[in-house]
Amino acid sequence: MTSFTPIQLSEREDYYRIWHATPEHSIDYTLANLWGWHRYFELSWCFADEIIFIKQERQEPIFWAPLGPWEKIDWDRVLSRLSDEQKTFIRVPELLVDIWREQIPDRIHVVESRGQWEYLYKQTDLATLPGKAFHKKKNHYSSFVKTYGEPDYHPICDSIVEDVLSLQDEWCQWHECEDSTSLQAENEAINQVLSHWQCFQGMQGGAIYIDGRIAAFSVGEKLDEKTLGVHYEKGLLGYKGIYQAMNRTFAANAGKEYELLNRAQDLDEEGLRQAKESYHPSLFLKKYQVMVD
């Protein structure tokens, strides 16, 4: 197999061609996400036969799921080309697992990765907060509007990227990111993506201003014709209800052309899981760890 090389934006045209041929789009595998986190995970990739293999070196040497036209690939042949120590895959979407179960049922062992499941929500739910299920969320939003007025929403463009990065820096100081490896990594990912905003296809972003000062932002990306992914969402805690306002306003504006919003995984963090479940997901994009013999 061709050797692995560090992820480079100079190869983005080849990446996007194969990404678009991949039948299920997990938010993990957008170019913006791979680029944002490539240093933290020490990610590299290999382009071979219209397939992209992605390898992680940090924490443990392991593969992420390959990209490509999964249904058209002879997986028995392709996976046999890997050495024995290279046959464990993480973050594998359910559709690819089903294809492997059909093609190579005797060669795989599948383990559920609940913390990697991605939460999908109806756009109309997040944008309107309907009914009793969203009563508390709507109260927080109404409190925000009563205190600060209707959200002063601005789509992210070149002219406000610096404001977004400034808010992220302030957020990081408040949350003492320097004492947390994961928050440091997320901070670098946000800076990497925002600093190369124009290199990625389908990026969507929005910010809320209060009295002329940026108070929150969301950054997302088109995953397919009906799904918008949400990578990052940050707000200044001094503004009561800011997260509910940012979530709803981003869904209503950036998400208006989509049926679903994918708000990524919970990583088995209990507080994050509770927060995501409180918005009542309608679907999950399930992912697994797969060992191949």
Domain layout of the chain by residue ranges: 5-117, 118-264
Q: Which helix (H) or strand (E) holds 38?
A: helix 31-41
In the numeric block, the tokens 């895959």 are attached to 89
- Do 223 and 25 touch, CB atoms closer than 8 A? yes
pLDDT of residue 59: 81
Task: Tell me whether the CATH fold assigned to 5-117 matches the one assigned to 118-264.
Answer: yes
Averaged pLDDT for residues 12-32: 97
| pLDDT tier for residue 85 given thresholds of 50, 70 and 90 | low
Q: Give the pLDDT confidence of 88-104 residue by residue, as tens digits.
A: 999 999 999 999 999 99
Q: Which two tokens stand for residue 145?
A: 């509007």
Does residue 42 have a pLDDT over 80? yes
Averaged pLDDT for residues 243-258: 97
- When the pLDDT of each residue in the chain is averaged and rounded to a whole number, the result is 95
Averaged pLDDT for residues 123-135: 97
Rounded Cα–Cα distance for residues 172 and 5 (Å): 31
pLDDT of residue 97: 98
First-residue to last-residue Cα distance in the chain: 18
pLDDT of residue 49: 82
Say how many CA atoms lie within 13 Å of 58 toward its Cβ.
9
| pLDDT tier for residue 3 given thresholds of 50, 70 and 90 | confident
DSSP 2: P
Q: Name the residue among 118, 78, 96 with its Cα closest to residue 22.
A: 96
CATH of 118-264, picked from 3.30.360.10, 3.40.630.30, 3.30.200.20, 3.40.50.800, is: 3.40.630.30
Q: Name the residue among 215, 217, 211 with its Cα closest to residue 254.
A: 217
Q: Name the residue among 230, 236, 221, 231 with its Cα closest to residue 166.
A: 236
Does residue 20 have a pLDDT over 90? yes
pLDDT of residue 237: 87
Q: Give me the CATH code for the 5-117 domain, please.
A: 3.40.630.30
Averaged pLDDT for residues 153-157: 95
Q: Which amino acid type is present at position 189?
A: A
Averaged pLDDT for residues 49-63: 91
C-alpha distance from residue 141 to each of 120, 132, 239, 244, 276 (Å)? 21, 14, 11, 6, 17
